[in-house]
Amino acid sequence: MTTLKTMTRAQLGTMGEGLAVEHLEGMGLRILNRNWRCRYGEIDVIACDASTRTVVFVEVKTRTGDGFGGLAHAVTERKVRTLRRLAALWLSDQDQSWAAVRIDVIGVRVGRRRDPEIIHVRGIG
């Protein structure tokens, strides 16, 4: 059995992305892509809100604590610029147009003694 102590960073990230997807679906968003990649990078989750015709690009950060800084330190200005570029590339490859585009960050904090905590920051860039 895999525990938090024995999880690799990749396993922890996959678990966090799964929890983030559940959170987004619980809000009524439909998942369009997970781990979309191109030569310039990766977008963790791409979702849409059909009621507002908004496409949402989501960066997921999973932590077991605040040892490396909280969510505010997890996504740098450079990362936001990269996400904007990746979002533009994804959008240019789509047949559908969207009324709005948004970049969100979902922080997932997991610990051995508590349920996962999800922090959803909308519209970071």
The number of folded domains in the chain is 1
Of the CA atoms within 13 Å of residue 23, those in its CB half-sphere come to 20
pLDDT tops 90 at residue 46: yes
- Is 115 among the domain residues? yes
In CATH, what number is assigned to the domain containing residue 81? 3.40.1350.10
Per-residue pLDDT at 80: 93
- Is 125 among the domain residues? no
Task: Tell me how far apart the alpha carbons of residues 17 and 21 are, in angstroms, rounded to a whole number.
Answer: 6
CA pseudo-torsion sign 9, 14, 15, 21: positive
If we measure between CA atoms, which residue out of 66, 68, 54 comes closest to residue 99?
A: 54
- Is 91 among the domain residues? yes
pLDDT digits (tens, 9 = 90+) for 52-98: 999 999 999 998 876 555 665 678 899 999 999 999 999 999 999 99
Provide DSSP, 82-125: HHHHHHHHHHHT-SS--SEEEEEEEEEEEETTEEEEEEEE----
- Is 81 among the domain residues? yes
Q: What is the mean pLDDT of the chain?
A: 89
Per-residue pLDDT at 110: 87
For residues 26-36, average pLDDT:
97
Could you tell me the residue range of the domain that residue 34 belongs to? 9-119
pTM of the predicted structure, to 2 decimals? 0.89
- Is 70 among the domain residues? yes
